[in-house]
Amino acid sequence: MKAVLFVSLVISLIVYVANADTGFAVYHTHRTPSACYGSQDNGPWITGVSNAHWNNRGACGRYFKVTCIGGANLAPHPCKRGSVTVKVTDLCSSCAGDLNLSQEAFNAIADLRAGKVRVRYDPV
Per DSSP bridges, beta strands 63-71 and 117-123 are antiparallel
Model confidence, pTM: 0.81
In this prediction, residues 55-78 reach a mean pLDDT of 92
Evaluate if residue 99 carries a pLDDT over 70.
yes
In angstroms, the Cα distances linking 37 to 12, 43, 53 are 35, 12, 17
Cβ neighbours of residue 57 closer than 8 Å, sequence gap 6 or more: 35, 36
Burial classification of residue 92, based on how many CB atoms lie within 10 Å of its CB (0-12 exposed, 13-18 middle, 19 or more buried): buried
Backbone phi and psi for residue 67, each to the nearest 5 degrees, phi listed first: -130, 130
Residue with the larger pLDDT of the pair 2 and 40: 40
Cβ atoms within 10 Å of 101's Cβ, excluding its own: 30
Tens of pLDDT, residues 9-38: 444 434 444 468 999 999 998 777 899 999
> Please, which pLDDT band fits residue 121 given cuts at 50, 70 and 90?
very high
